[in-house]
Structure 1
């Protein structure tokens, strides 16, 4: 079952550190099987949402996403990021698609 790596940037403290992180993180994530689905500022936010930078990456499984995060290449990216941003990163399992129900 697929899994999704969802990262919200609560605060960007140092743009240069975020750029250095992105340069290392993108290839590390792609090499680990991640597919970027969304990346950028929110166009709208509702309820308690914030209009902040959000990244959504799809992996084949939770284990694949966890392995990507633990990989030496991604850990190097985290070192480059350091205290450059305050982020909320979570890995969430996908759900099986529902079968449509025929209705009269």
Structure 2
């Protein structure tokens, strides 16, 4: 909220040497100043690349991500061996199931 350009990207601000040139005002003391200093500390070591973001699944690199590979991982490492295949929990909200699948 302090930036003069509210539509700016992180990439455009990550390597600027003088933050005062792009701020509407200097951070006030207290929480605002400590949050701003924490942000600067985090950003100082960040290196961005030109590659597009993507999901990667390292267990089955040849075919990419699949629900079957996640089920196989869960069945083989975390569950008691049984004849019944693992089913997603239908009582859990869909956004949680999708998040866990992506995770």
Into which bin does the TM-score normalised by the smaller protein fall? under 0.3
Quick one: higher RCO (CA 8 Å, sep 6+), 1 or 2? 1
Instruction: Name the one with the larger strand percent.
Output: 1
Instruction: Name the one with the larger helix percent.
Output: 2
- Which protein shows a greater Rg? 2
- TM-score normalised to structure 1 length: 0.26
